Structure 1
């Protein structure tokens, strides 16, 4: 008998975790094809849960939200890839594929799923990742093709600059961003200055307009 695909869900919203468990359970007919073996609500907790599962051997796929508290999903993705490179990580988000899919896959994700994806897509992605493949939806494929043909200013941002950019365009202050990312306000201000230079924006208002024009604004979570 084929062992079940063991999934860890990292999301700070209980209703999302419960919904994912129901979807995975329903489409596997409640059978042991896919089993949610662990859950986590914060970035550090995801890493702790994976470590507790025999260094990743007790989990086959991680479903990881980008907007996690304490340590965001992109940071956690990089930490998991460094510690357990063979462990597939599927990124989950409310953000559209054009905003994050390319960045996630470049960082080593096994795929990118919008939380509005249908149940069949969710299960297909888990199966593909567990088999060692990369799940690419039609929207993600389009985003990848666009990235190959043109690199936008935001694609030129470093990982940390992109984090600050996302939070700035979501309306967070420098002090709020510093608290969320564990950075001193002066450091956040330095990142902000670099972002303004790379995007050509003169201030936060122009940065927000830039984000809107290029489909890069970060929706509320």
Structure 2
């Protein structure tokens, strides 16, 4: 029996996943979390066999949360289930210690197969992500500007590009507005973009935003 922890801030997503897992005999949901702090609190009480983790939740989330979990629970396989389809997010997640990266439009049989694979110590990525990673490997010098961002900068970039203001980003990430403003300035400088509108256009052009109809 593979014991699962689900971490996603949307109840409807967790409920949908539980319905899928209820149809198979070798998986059981033992814990649910709606944000990064809850994930860490639950892990202190029990360690599941696989953590199914959303990349974007209130408070601590994304790459920084993966790194923190890996530091405390190095043997726990983390399978990211994300709305972001750009391969750079997958690269950052796997470098941080995730065992796999799937997008939320994945078929249920692919999800179940990926969970079984990472539970056995393997790795798993969505086919579309795997194709992009292979393409990047063949062209190592073709680094896009957003690939220069740190994990925190990439997280702030995502939120700004999705329309959140400085204060909203600060509240969501438990940071000061001054710190978020500094991150924003660094992002604009590294990407050679002049404004938030430019970040939005860049994100749309490179497919860095969730597509319409995707769950957040």
TM-score, with length taken from structure 1: 0.89
Greater mean alpha carbon deviation, residues 42-51 or residues 90-99: 90-99
CA-atom RMSD, angstroms? 1.6
Out of 37, 46, 50, the position equivalent to 2:30 is 37
Quick check: 1:23 aligned with 2:16? no
Quick check: 1:78 aligned with 2:75? no
Which residue number corresponds to residue 54 of structure 2?
65
SS of equivalent to 2:32 = strand
What pairs up with 1:209-220 in 2 under 5 angstroms? 209-217=201-209
Cα distance in 2 between the residues matched to 1:102 and 1:184: 28
Question: Following TM superposition, by how much is the alpha carbon of 1:97 offset from its aligned partner in structure 2, in angstroms?
Answer: 4.4
Q: How many residues get paired? A: 210
Quick check: 1:146 aligned with 2:135? yes
Cα distance in 2 between the residues matched to 1:164 and 1:68: 13
Out of 204, 210, 219, the position equivalent to 2:196 is 204
Question: Following TM superposition, by how much is the alpha carbon of 1:18 offset from its aligned partner in structure 2, in angstroms?
Answer: 1.5
What pairs up with 1:1-221 in 2 under 5 angstroms? 4-26=1-23, 28=24, 31=25, 33-53=26-46, 56=47, 59-98=48-87, 100-148=89-137, 149=139, 150-217=142-209, 221=216
Q: Which runs of 5+ in 2 are unaligned?
A: none
Does structure 1 retain, via aligned residues, the 8 Å contact 2:83–2:210?
A: no
Cα distance in 2 between the residues matched to 1:66 and 1:98: 13
SS of equivalent to 2:121 = coil
Q: Which runs of 5+ in 1 are unaligned?
A: none
